[in-house]
Amino acid sequence: MSRISSVLFEQAKRYIPGGVNSPVRAFGAVGADPFFVASASGSRVYDVEGREYIDYVASWGPLILGHGHPEILAALEKSLRKGTSFGAPTELEIEMARLIVTAFPAMDMVRMVSSGTEAAMSAIRLARGFTGRELIAKFEGCYHGHTDSLLVKAGSGAATLGLPGSAGVPQRLAELTVTIPYNDVETFKMAMERYGDELACVILEPVAGNMGVVPPIRGFLETIRELTRRTGTLLIFDEVITGFRLTWGGWQNLAGIEPDLTCLGKIIGGGLPAAAFGGRREIMANLAPLGPVYQAGTLSGNPLALSAGLAALNCLRANGNIYESLEKKTALLCRGIGDLFDRKGIPLSINRVGSMFTPFFSGNSVQDLTTAQKSDTARFARFFREMLARGISLPPSQFEACFVSQAHSEDDLERTIDACGKALAAL
């Protein structure tokens, strides 16, 4: 960490818990202190001392076009001249809603919110209000924000009522959440036999991105859709990360599975705080002011955020080859990194879906939280620090996704692979 970043971090710790406003930014999992960013452009971020880093964090996913994309900046400047927030409807909200429901066949209606946490929280409340049921089910390793009923860990059995996963979460509230291992079809079937008629919803990331990238195994999502439909349980896809990241629309479009509700975020804000949830008209009509399920937000549909998000989405829609290009770039990068580890004889399992990937420091296939946690986190931490010293910014945790953007060039990829080789030599 630079000298100036060290001084700033000490100042931050005086006023902000842990010195950061989101825990992973503290770099605690990699045995380091964070560098402070001064600016960013394209594929690069620059710290307060002017050091340059090729960035694979991408603000945790939304910057699919890179930092400071000119069309997004132009949209923001135009919107800013008109005002920052009105607390009243704008035409931008209609434009964004129309674009989203066009991209997602499973959505008839959508409501804008300000964060992925808020989207998941609101979707679950809506599911409970629509079904009249209280229990919900989630999967181990899938993160849906820091709502109390979702900050739970598994109980003593394979499919059990949850235990509090954070101080401040009441035991009684955690017990309303059934936790199930991700990609475990048989345990899911068992959970549905036991709780199915009591479950308001099942929520999951169709491609997990918060225990590292973990794709669904064959038949997993299909079984969930079949059994939730059979029991009248709503299926919620959390596509906050995957929405517009892997294809136009979401993973559900690639999988051919229509959930009842979908949560979106990240890319639809173009780098600003924006998120949404939506689904079938008969469900969404239960939201106030039409129905009895209350949800509100002062900054929901903020014009600056929607201007940035619409600019990002319109760029993606206009560039029909972008997903194919991102796929090729990311595959090239992962292949180059994997070859280096093979030559060094260091165990590595790279999970990749489109432009998302995670290099797990493990010799075994990673398909759930248990196998992800078998990774050598100490070796990952050393690798992270060596890569950072060579100008490569990776997510500061073994259990996060890396993101490739349109702004990453072939030279960026070659420099990253070269830095990887030097980092391995130093381990």
The pLDDT of residue 147:
85
> What distance in Å separates the CA atoms of residue 242 and residue 209, rounded to the nearest whole number?
8
208, two tokens: 């997990």
Domains and CATH numbers, the chain: 3-68+320-426 (3.90.1150.10), 70-318 (3.40.640.10)
- For residue 160, what pLDDT band results from cuts at 50, 70 and 90? low
pLDDT for 24 beyond 70: yes
Q: Give the count of beta carbons closer than 10 Å to the beta carbon of residue 334.
A: 20
Residues 192-210 have a mean pLDDT of 97
> What distance in Å separates the CA atoms of residue 58 and residue 401, rounded to the nearest whole number?
10
CB 350 within 8 A of CB 360: yes
140, two tokens: 């181990």
Residues in the chain: 427
Residues 77-89 have a mean pLDDT of 97
173/8: higher pLDDT = 8
> What distance in Å separates the CA atoms of residue 331 and residue 319, rounded to the nearest whole number?
20
Residues 136-160 have a mean pLDDT of 79
> What distance in Å separates the CA atoms of residue 357 and residue 241, rounded to the nearest whole number?
12
169/367: higher pLDDT = 367
The pLDDT of residue 10:
95
pLDDT for 372 beyond 60: yes
pLDDT for 167 beyond 90: no
The pLDDT of residue 148:
82
181 forms bridges with which residues in the sheet? 140
Burial of residue 84 (CB within 10 Å: 0-12, 13-18, 19+) is exposed
Residues 44-70 have a mean pLDDT of 97
Average pLDDT of the chain, as a whole number:
95
The pLDDT of residue 1:
56
CB 401 within 8 A of CB 356: yes
> What distance in Å separates the CA atoms of residue 263 and residue 240, rounded to the nearest whole number?
6
Catalytic residue among 47, 138, 182, 266: 266
The pLDDT of residue 320:
83
The pLDDT of residue 170:
84
> What distance in Å separates the CA atoms of residue 127 and residue 138, rounded to the nearest whole number?
14
For this structure, is 143 an active site residue? Answer: yes
The pLDDT of residue 48:
96
Catalytic residue among 53, 56, 143, 323: 143
170/418: higher pLDDT = 418
Burial of residue 93 (CB within 10 Å: 0-12, 13-18, 19+) is middle
pLDDT for 125 beyond 90: yes
- For residue 217, what pLDDT band results from cuts at 50, 70 and 90? very high
User: Which residues lie closer than 8 Å to 149 by C-beta, 6 or more apart?
Assistant: 124, 136, 173, 174, 176, 177
Cis, peptide link before residue 289, omega less than 30° from 0: yes
Tokens 């130093």 locate to 426
The pLDDT of residue 427:
85
Percent of the chain at pLDDT exceeding 70: 97
The pLDDT of residue 156:
46
pLDDT for 128 beyond 90: yes
> What distance in Å separates the CA atoms of residue 88 and residue 74, rounded to the nearest whole number?
23
- For residue 152, what pLDDT band results from cuts at 50, 70 and 90? confident
Residue range 226-273, pLDDT digits in tens: 999 999 999 999 999 999 999 999 999 999 999 999 999 999 999 999
φ/ψ of 142, rounded to 5, equals -85, 130
Burial of residue 259 (CB within 10 Å: 0-12, 13-18, 19+) is buried
* HSE-CB of 21 using CA atoms within 13 angstroms: 2
- For residue 169, what pLDDT band results from cuts at 50, 70 and 90? confident
The pLDDT of residue 171:
87
- For residue 162, what pLDDT band results from cuts at 50, 70 and 90? low
Residue range 274-324, pLDDT digits in tens: 999 999 999 999 999 999 999 999 999 999 999 999 999 999 999 989 999
For this structure, is 266 an active site residue? Answer: yes
DSSP per-residue codes, 62-130: T-TT-BT-HHHHHHHHHHHTT-S--SS--HHHHHHHHHHHHH-TT-SEEEEES-HHHHHHHHHHHHHHH
CB 4 within 8 A of CB 48: yes
The pLDDT of residue 73:
98
Residue range 389-413, pLDDT digits in tens: 999 999 999 999 999 999 999 999 9
309, two tokens: 């998000």
> What distance in Å separates the CA atoms of residue 142 and residue 279, rounded to the nearest whole number?
21
The pLDDT of residue 168:
85
Residues 45-58 have a mean pLDDT of 97
For the chain, first and last CA: distance in Å? 19
Catalytic residue among 33, 238, 260, 412: 238
